[in-house]
Amino acid sequence: MLNETSLVAPDIQARYSSTRALTEALAAPLSPEDQTAQPMPDASPTKWHRGHTTWFFEAFLLPGLPSYRPYHPLFGYLFNSYYETIGPRHPRPQRGLLTRPGTGEVASYRTQVDEAMSELLAGPRQPGTTFLAELGVQHEQQHQELLLMDIKSLLALNPLRPRYHREIADDAHPSPALGWVELAGGTGLVGHDGTGFAFDNEQPRHRVVLRPYAVADRPTSCGDWLGFMADGGYERPELWLSDGWSTVQREGWQAPLYWESGEHGWAVFTLGGLKRVDPAEPVCHISYYEADAFARWAGCRLPTEHEWELAASEVGLAHRFDPGRAHPRPMGVEATGAAGQVWEWTASAYLPYPGFRPSAGAVGEYNGKFMVNQHVLRGGCVASPPGHPRATYRNFFAPHCRWPFTGLRLARDL
Amino acid sequence: MLNETSLVAPDIQARYSSTRALTEALAAPLSPEDQTAQPMPDASPTKWHRGHTTWFFEAFLLPGLPSYRPYHPLFGYLFNSYYETIGPRHPRPQRGLLTRPGTGEVASYRTQVDEAMSELLAGPRQPGTTFLAELGVQHEQQHQELLLMDIKSLLALNPLRPRYHREIADDAHPSPALGWVELAGGTGLVGHDGTGFAFDNEQPRHRVVLRPYAVADRPTSCGDWLGFMADGGYERPELWLSDGWSTVQREGWQAPLYWESGEHGWAVFTLGGLKRVDPAEPVCHISYYEADAFARWAGCRLPTEHEWELAASEVGLAHRFDPGRAHPRPMGVEATGAAGQVWEWTASAYLPYPGFRPSAGAVGEYNGKFMVNQHVLRGGCVASPPGHPRATYRNFFAPHCRWPFTGLRLARDL
Amino acid sequence: MLNETSLVAPDIQARYSSTRALTEALAAPLSPEDQTAQPMPDASPTKWHRGHTTWFFEAFLLPGLPSYRPYHPLFGYLFNSYYETIGPRHPRPQRGLLTRPGTGEVASYRTQVDEAMSELLAGPRQPGTTFLAELGVQHEQQHQELLLMDIKSLLALNPLRPRYHREIADDAHPSPALGWVELAGGTGLVGHDGTGFAFDNEQPRHRVVLRPYAVADRPTSCGDWLGFMADGGYERPELWLSDGWSTVQREGWQAPLYWESGEHGWAVFTLGGLKRVDPAEPVCHISYYEADAFARWAGCRLPTEHEWELAASEVGLAHRFDPGRAHPRPMGVEATGAAGQVWEWTASAYLPYPGFRPSAGAVGEYNGKFMVNQHVLRGGCVASPPGHPRATYRNFFAPHCRWPFTGLRLARDL
Amino acid sequence: MLNETSLVAPDIQARYSSTRALTEALAAPLSPEDQTAQPMPDASPTKWHRGHTTWFFEAFLLPGLPSYRPYHPLFGYLFNSYYETIGPRHPRPQRGLLTRPGTGEVASYRTQVDEAMSELLAGPRQPGTTFLAELGVQHEQQHQELLLMDIKSLLALNPLRPRYHREIADDAHPSPALGWVELAGGTGLVGHDGTGFAFDNEQPRHRVVLRPYAVADRPTSCGDWLGFMADGGYERPELWLSDGWSTVQREGWQAPLYWESGEHGWAVFTLGGLKRVDPAEPVCHISYYEADAFARWAGCRLPTEHEWELAASEVGLAHRFDPGRAHPRPMGVEATGAAGQVWEWTASAYLPYPGFRPSAGAVGEYNGKFMVNQHVLRGGCVASPPGHPRATYRNFFAPHCRWPFTGLRLARDL
């Protein structure tokens, strides 16, 4: 999974430090009150993200440091997310009721673990330590993204319209032209090749057969989406999957999440405040159901995850999709979800690759046990930490989820 | 309702100041995180109580101060509890998601309103101002009690077992002997006589006919309750009202709220931490259903609110029940709910007295519109501010509620 | 409770036979399919009513007939309604899933029990037998009313608009003038005096003190109600109890149950089909919340149950309210709920009378255990079997219920 | 999709008649009461199945018969299942409240449509008519299976333990030995080749790449399942998908649906009554979650639908799996769900094949709009009408469903 020799000690130590610091920087603009509340069961308080990522190192790495004493006997109970083999957990929907430990004590917890990790990583390492440390870093990077999408969902519920960061420009530009990248299909290889870090769910690399296809050279824009809405997209059941249509009706969806109809047209709540919907930006905060309905309306379809990966990795998609360019603005400062790249829903259900083997031990619960009732998203988003996404990365959410930074890219048969 | 001339200006000014200061003192031990969370829809965050009681003065009194400018245009929306005639409100179950305004800004809000109220009360007053100021003080006193019962319900959900105040003695004493006070019944007068402040729901004073009856000379104790439990009280449907029994089964009740079965017998979570159940203390945190079932088990019944009031006011109940002695310990310091007096459930539904007229204007929503689906409680509790309860005071809660400081006193026919 | 000697044998035998026959006559127009479905947990299938009333005699009377063998070992489980002391029961919300026993087998069950009851009543009776038989008759009469209100709620859900009986005249007449009956108040006696049958909840007879008051000389009419609606009755929160207003909003109430807005004004679904709302008829199928809001809108209030009873029994209310005239049309033939007398909500919560003692044994569960969260209704309705209601009769339902034949009569202070 | 010329007229007429007759034969043992109730929203009343399958012909075929008049203007509303483009529908969860039309009128409806269909099929046919008639026949065959699984779920809820057909033998035999069929993998073709009828979701036929694999030569047996249970299968979270484990805990699953623990070991409710669990029979009425957990426990996995199809069609699986032998007993007479073949869960999510095109018109809603949140099952079951299943047939249910006749077959990598 991870080639141990490909990561040298200074690298992981530096990566550990900078990742931990970035989490704190992301939390810094938030008050103790902001860090405590939980807007819905799917989203966690900032304070909990800070504690949970710390617990990950304490639970999986620090038993390897003989001198280490856990910070508190109950923090494992409070900050374990879903590792059944580690032990019982505080119920997820009640994370917002844990007013203690407070933000200050969580900071102390982080400091203690950071000091111990520094000692652990500086000394001679047991086999697997480097991998687990890297896994912990990657895990914390995932939570940095979750922290931002969760705090956005909380602030959006406040009638005071609080901002996470400074106000952003209220621009509006025309939707750019849409081009297509054509691919010949045939037999291709998908999945991670083992060079550098990858999650277990990206492996094994394997052959797939594809028909000739084309993918759009940019994500669907807000301008495109306004066309869908103007054409009755949210009122026409023939465009929707059955589960999608019943969700539209039950939830009263009429636009992407965070969009509001106002006197001057559609506005959108962002981490920088309320602003006009900019037709040029990728549409964001849509469910799989909406992505699928839009594609059907457009006479297209969503790409499979294999189509997406081969287009991204083999053809290059220069000037179109480039994981290295996924963060045109400093992450965390203007992570608006409406101004940047978005995770792209694919047509593929989240299932194991042929020959999939979960990682050994408790971290084997990391990915495999979620392989049902989810769809794969590819790419990365404005909230993804730099260097975190890659072409083989398999993100996943349930089809109704809209609070992540989710969009789509069209595909079609040739 | 309130005899305007009976309250002189210095009195209300001093009462305003001391009441406002007590609220802040009660909140002081709580962190910003503690003050933000909402444990259930019935209970509100501390921060919200502080803002709401402030808004009450801003909304009902300060329009009378020409120079006053409201603190924030949306605070009325955020801090209005249920006054339909004032305008729309933030949904009650989402009060815990309002991380802004933070505790600091709530303090600023309180300061601005206090300064304006000081100016208003110092000057010549319009008719009704003194009454409304006194109503606001009484209202804030009610919220002091709510603040304590709400924060207790929040802290009890935290596996870390946080304490609100210093640890209290882990004593256990035998349940005191139970005596009876006999009353002749006949025609009596109940309701407030108009001397001093009273809520509209305590009036008009009116005649009632009672049969001869007896009431216990003390509330039911934890020792009594342990006897009920040992005799299968929670397992015998014949003791329960139908709605009560279905609640017992649905909720899995086996003891009062906050009781826990441990290695050394029953313990109870208090604002001072976990301690042994003391048989000598009044049982607390029971629903009307439980109070009613206990009385049936004991071969008795609950007193009606009229029986309770006449026993308390006519016979005196010295050394038995005495509102003036309801607070043997400094309120807020050891308000444990299990160590002190309790609100006593009566057999009476909360209904208007004959000839009842709600107060004029928006404050007419204060009491009258809740006169259905509730039962009356009488007395006062350890969390009641000194001087707040009186013999005619009608507290009320829905029959399933257990998070207030609720107990019972037995009665029987003669 | 019941004076055993006041009921001679032929009387109870005849009453048993005619009551049992009326139940079957009421069910006769209904197909096996109609008799099986359960429209909501509160309402039971016709087939179940037929079985349950039969089980009542089997469970409470026939153990006194030595030769009797229960029809089926599981019928007690299926047809026990809520008698905890008798044993466990089939869950109420699943009564509609009991397709067996079918209507035919229920008829056989009724026949077997009728034959045994005939034998029991013909022979020498043990003490209490006559009372229990009369109680069973009264119980079955109550279920005759329930059967009609339950089947109405079922048929109303069917888009085919099925009729229970022949179409009724689609008349409309002006609302009659409203007069007032004035009463002096003072001390009066309420409750049953022990002559003839009464339920335990009507006793003991006791003294009450009333202020001078007036009651309307007729129930509120549909014409009156149309005035309430036209004046925004369902949109004005200041008219409503808090629980009532939240129910109005949650349920989207805009008119009484079964009313429909059509091209030609308001229509109402009846057991005889859809017809125009007739302003002259008493309004029916309203909740306590609506009755209370209407009274507040009218500048009046609801009478207490004591006021109602004294007005009905002492002053007579001839040509106004007369239980003996409660059935101007043959019950069951034109029981429309909108054309006839209605049960009248009172301001009184359903609570025990002073000195109340439930009947001994399992039938003690009949009334007492429901004395919480309900309001008292007085009078009788078009679906009440002839002779069943009396001036002391205390019917009761939860405040949100609208599917019974419920209306109101105004009262006011003098 | 369907080669029109491959179906000659006599064939479809005969198939129409025999299929329609089989539906009536399946309903014949059920009383009007049995045919009316709906045990849960997922399952429909027998009476509704009879009406809905009839409506399918009326809505999609009989507009082509100029003389035809619809039976009732509202039957389209009542019997449309989910065809949004046809019009609105009665809410699915309320199908059990439609006591009218009764079973008799549904029979009349069937007769009218059958006569019209006979006329339509006898005359010269428009293009597409034969396909739509065949689709209607296949549709009705699917509902025959649904009718049996739905009525089983209803009868199982009745404490009287009613039987659908005569009692079946209470045998128990040892679980047969398990063998493996090895397949080389490589590139293969899956999907229907266009010879004879197929649903749109079985097409287009396309190439897939498979690794070498093995599949069990028989479905997992009840004996195998008892081993899983004895080894704590339902108590070990590490065996389960996350959604599966939370379902196990929420629903309290401890065995397959319809299994009951009794004095003499495990029994199972069947359409022939309660009988002992026979270790030799295929396990039935398990969810995808359970199938997946069992496979993980066994150190194996579920086959993908492609693996299943290639194993069934290419290698033959004679004496192992053979669709032609899926009905060892007359369907409908002893369809017990525990004694016969079962639909086999696969590891594949139900998604469109590459190049999938739904059928044109309203029947395009038949399959495509359900392609999310479901897993594919392959094979056929004891309740499948003879000739209905084929190797390319893609059945599908949500992962939590247990009321269909569902089992599993193990697979593993080579």
The DSSP secondary structure of C327-351, one letter per residue, reads -SS-TTTS--SSSS--EEEEEEE--
The pLDDT value given to residue C316: 60
Q: What is the pLDDT of chain C when averaged over all its residues?
A: 90
Residue B127: predicted pLDDT? 83
Query: Helix, strand, coil: what percent of chain C each, to 5?
Result: 40, 15, 50
Contact C158 D100 (CB under 8 A): yes
- For A220-265, what is each residue's pLDDT tens digit? 999 999 999 999 999 999 999 999 999 999 999 999 999 999 888 9
pLDDT score, position C129: 94
Given a cut of 90, is residue B144 above it in pLDDT? yes
Give me the residues paired with residue C207 across strands: C189
> Is B288 an 8 Å CB contact of chain C?
yes
Instruction: Give the span between the Cα atoms of A112 and A104, in whole angstroms.
Output: 13
pLDDT tens, position by position, A178-215: 999 999 999 999 999 988 999 999 999 999 999 999 99
Closest residue, chain B, to A162 (C-alpha): B100
Smallest Cβ–Cβ distance between C243 and the set B240, B242, B372 belongs to B372
Local structure of residue A58 (DSSP, 8 states): H
Average pLDDT over residues A98-123: 97
- What pairing do the DSSP bridges indicate for beta strands D180-183 and C395-397? unpaired
Domain extents in chain C: 4-155, 180-413
Residue B168 neighbours by CB under 8 Å, 6+ apart: B270, B272, B273, B275, B334, B336, B339
**Is C101 part of the contact surface with chain D (CB cutoff 8 Å)?**
yes
Positive or negative, the CA dihedral D317, D318, D319, D322 is: positive
Which of A:223-262 have CB within 8 Å of B?
A: none
Confidence check on the interface: ipTM exceeds 0.90, yes or no: yes
Break chain D down into helix, strand, coil percent, rounded to 5: 40, 15, 50
Q: Please report which helix (H) or strand (E) contains residue A139, including its range.
A: helix A129-155
Least confident of A355-359, B59-63, C340-344: C340-344
Phi/psi at B94 (nearest 5 deg)? -110, 20
- Tell me if the domain spanning C180-413 has CATH number 3.90.1580.10: yes
Are A100 and B162 within 8 A, CB to CB?
yes
Chain B interface mutation, best of C85, C240, C242, highest count of B Cβ atoms under 10 Å: C242
Contact (CB, 8 A) for C34 and C147: no
Question: Mutate which of B97, B109, B163, B164 to disrupt the A interface (most A C-beta within 10 Å)?
Answer: B97
CB atoms within 10 A of CB D124: 7
Taking an 8 Å cut-off on Cβ atoms, the answer to whether D36 and C39 are in contact is no
Going across the sheet that includes A265-270, the strands are A259-262, A265-270, A273-276
Q: What is the CA radius of gyration of chain A?
A: 21
Please give the structure tokens belonging to residue C20.
């049992």
Torsion from C-alpha of B314, B320, B321, B323, nearest 10 degrees: 100
Digit-by-digit pLDDT tens for chain C (414 residues) are 344 444 444 589 999 999 999 999 999 999 999 999 999 999 999 999 999 999 999 999 999 999 999 999 999 999 999 898 888 999 999 999 999 999 999 999 999 999 999 999 998 988 889 999 999 999 999 999 999 999 999 999 999 999 998 777 788 899 989 999 999 999 999 999 988 999 999 999 999 999 999 999 889 999 999 999 999 999 999 999 999 999 999 999 999 999 999 888 999 999 988 999 999 889 999 999 999 999 999 999 999 999 999 998 876 653 344 433 333 333 363 333 333 489 999 999 999 999 999 988 888 888 999 999 999 999 888 888 888 888 899 999 999 999 999 999 999 999
* Nearby residues of A192 by Cβ (< 8 Å), 6 or more positions away: A198, A202, A203, A205, A390, A392
Please report the pLDDT score of residue D127 as a whole number: 83
D90 touches chain A (CB under 8 A): no
Using only C-alpha atoms, chain B has a radius of gyration, in whole angstroms, of: 21
Q: Chain B contact for A87, CB < 8 A?
A: no
In chain B, how long is the greatest CA-to-CA distance?
65
What is the token pair recorded at B31?
Answer: 């962190």
Element (H, E) at A363: none
Distance CA(C352)–CA(C340), nearest Å, equals 30
What is Dmax (Cα atoms) for chain D? 65
B347 → chain C, closest CA residue: C351
Q: D343-349 and D375-378: which strand pairing?
A: antiparallel
Report in angstroms the alpha-carbon separations of D62 from B335, D65, D105, D142: 78, 5, 19, 21
- Optimal mutation site among A99, A105, A160, interface B, most CBs of chain B within 10 A: A99
Is C237 in Cβ contact with B372 (below 8 Å)?
A: no
Yes or no, beta carbons of B351 and C354 under 8 Å apart: no
Closest CB to B373: pick one of C206, C369, C399.
Answer: C399
Mutant choice from C372, C374, C397 vs B, greatest count of B C-beta within 10 A? C372
Q: Which chain C residues have a beta carbon less than 8 Å from that of B250?
A: none
Instruction: Nearest by CB to B237, from C84, C206, C243: name it.
Output: C84
Contacts of C211 in chain B (CB under 8 A): 206, 354-355
Yes or no, beta carbons of D159 and C74 under 8 Å apart: yes
Is C163 at the interface with chain D, CB within 8 A? Answer: no
Considering only residues C72 and A87, tell me which one the structure prediction assigns the higher pLDDT: C72
Please state, as a whole number, how many other Cβ atoms lie within 10 Å of the Cβ of residue D54. Answer: 26
Query: Is the preceding peptide bond at C204 cis, omega within 30 degrees of 0?
Result: yes
Q: Give residue for tokens 């032209």.
A: A177
C to A contact (≥3 Cβ pairs closer than 8 Å): no
pLDDT of D323: 39
Q: Rounded to an integer, what distance in angstroms lies between the CA atom of residue D102 and that of residue B110?
A: 68
Instruction: Identify the chains in contact with D, defined as 3+ C-beta pairs within 8 A.
Output: A, C
B299 at interface of C, judged by CB pairs closer than 8 A: no
pLDDT tens figures, B219-240: 999 999 999 999 999 999 999 9
Contact between D351 and A351 using a beta-carbon 8 Å cutoff? no
Burial class (CB in 10 A: 0-12, 13-18, 19+), B10: exposed
Rounded CA separation C75/C92 (Å): 14
Name the pTM for this structure: 0.94
Residues facing D349 on adjacent strands: D375
Kindly state the tokens that stand for C355: 């000195």
Q: Kindly indicate the confidence band of residue B10, based on its pLDDT and cuts at 50, 70 and 90.
A: low
- Cβ–Cβ gap C34/D99 under 8 Å: yes
Q: In terms of residues, how long is chain A? A: 414
- Average pLDDT (B302-315) is 90
Chain A contact present for B36, CB below 8 A: yes
- D35/C37 Cβ within 8 A: no
Domain covering A4-155, topology: Four Helix Bundle (Hemerythrin (Met), subunit A) (1.20.120)
pLDDT of residue C10: 58
pLDDT at A327 over 60: no
The answer to whether the peptide bond before residue B352 is cis (omega within 30 degrees of 0) is no
Chain D residue numbers touching A210 (CB-CB < 8 A): 354
Closest Cβ opposite residue B85 in set C210, C238, C243: C238
Q: Whose CA is closest to A396, among A365, A370, A375, A373? A: A375
Within an 8 Å CB–CB cutoff, is residue A92 touching chain D? no
Whole-number Å distance between alpha carbons of A410 and A298: 9
Residue in this structure with the two tokens 């596996």, named with its chain if needed: B159
A292–D237 C-beta distance less than 8 A: no
> Cα–Cα distance between C316 and C322 in angstroms, integer?
7
Q: What is the pLDDT along chain D (414 residues), one digit of tens a residue?
A: 344 444 444 589 999 999 999 999 999 999 999 999 999 999 999 999 999 999 999 999 999 999 999 999 999 999 999 898 888 999 999 999 999 999 999 999 999 999 999 999 998 888 889 999 999 999 999 999 999 999 999 999 999 999 998 777 788 889 989 999 999 999 999 999 988 999 999 999 999 999 999 999 889 999 999 999 999 999 999 999 999 999 999 999 999 999 999 888 999 999 988 999 999 889 999 999 999 999 999 999 999 999 999 998 876 553 344 433 333 333 373 333 333 489 999 999 999 999 999 988 888 888 999 999 999 999 888 888 888 888 899 999 999 999 999 999 999 999
Q: Is the pLDDT of residue B318 over 80?
A: no
Tokens of A220: 């669907």
The CA distance from B35 to A25, in Å, is 24
pLDDT of D316 reads 59
Q: Phi/psi of residue D175, each to 5°?
A: -65, 135
Q: Which two tokens stand for residue B310?
A: 């006449």
Q: What is the mean pLDDT of residues A274-285?
A: 92
- CB contact set of C300 (below 8 Å; sequence gap of 6+): C410, C411, C412
Are D347 and A352 within 8 A, CB to CB? yes
Q: What's the CA gap between C385 and C11, in Å, rounded?
A: 17
- The three-state secondary structure class of D201 is helix
Nearest to A158 among B98, B158, B162 (CB): B98
For A304, name the nearest residue in chain D, comparing CA atoms only.
D354
Nearest to C321 by CA among C337, C339, C343: C343
Residue with tokens 């790419």: A379
Whether residue C211 and residue B354 make contact (CB cut-off 8 A), yes or no, is yes
Is any Cβ of chain C less than 8 angstroms from the Cβ of B88? Answer: no
- Evaluate if residue B316 carries a pLDDT over 80: no
Closest CA to B74 of A159, A156, A157, A33: A159
> CA B294, CA B410: separation in Å to the nearest integer?
9
Question: Between residues D30 and B280, which one has the greater pLDDT?
Answer: D30
Q: In a 10 Å sphere around its CB, with 0-12 CB exposed, 13-18 middle and 19+ buried, how is residue A315 labelled?
A: middle
CA–CA distance, B315 with B313 (Å, rounded to integer): 6
**How many helices (H) and strands (E) are present in chain A, helices listed first?**
9, 12
| pLDDT reported for residue B3 | 41
Identify all chain D residues contacting A247, using CB atoms and an 8 Å cutoff. none
| Interface contact flag, D36 C33, Cβ < 8 Å | yes
Please report where in the chains the tokens 């965070």 appear, as a residue: A258
What pLDDT score was predicted for residue B355?
95
Query: Which residues have C-beta within 8 Å of that of residue B212, sequence separation ≥ 6?
Result: B182, B183, B184, B185, B413, B414
pLDDT at A229: 98
With touching defined as 3 or more inter-chain CB pairs under 8 Å, the answer for chains D and A is: yes
Q: Does B208 touch chain C (CB under 8 A)?
A: yes
Write down which chains contact chain B via at least 3 CB pairs under 8 A.
A, C
Per-residue confidence band for A382, with pLDDT thresholds at 50, 70 and 90: confident
Under 8 Å between Cβ of D344 and D369: no
Neighbours of chain A (3+ CB pairs under 8 A): B, D
Tell me, yes or no, if D270 comes closer than 8 A to chain C by beta carbon: no
Contact status of C353 with chain B (Cβ, < 8 Å): no
Contacts of B367 in chain C (CB under 8 A): none
CA distance D99 to chain C (A): 5
Query: Does the distance separating the beta carbons of D355 and A413 come in below 8 Å?
Result: yes
Share the mean pLDDT of chain B.
90
- Nearest residue in B to A74, CA atom: B160
As a whole number of angstroms, the distance between CA C364 and CA D192 comes to 69
Can you give the pLDDT at residue A359? 86
Question: Strands, E, within A152-235: which ranges?
Answer: 180-183, 186-190, 206-210, 213-216
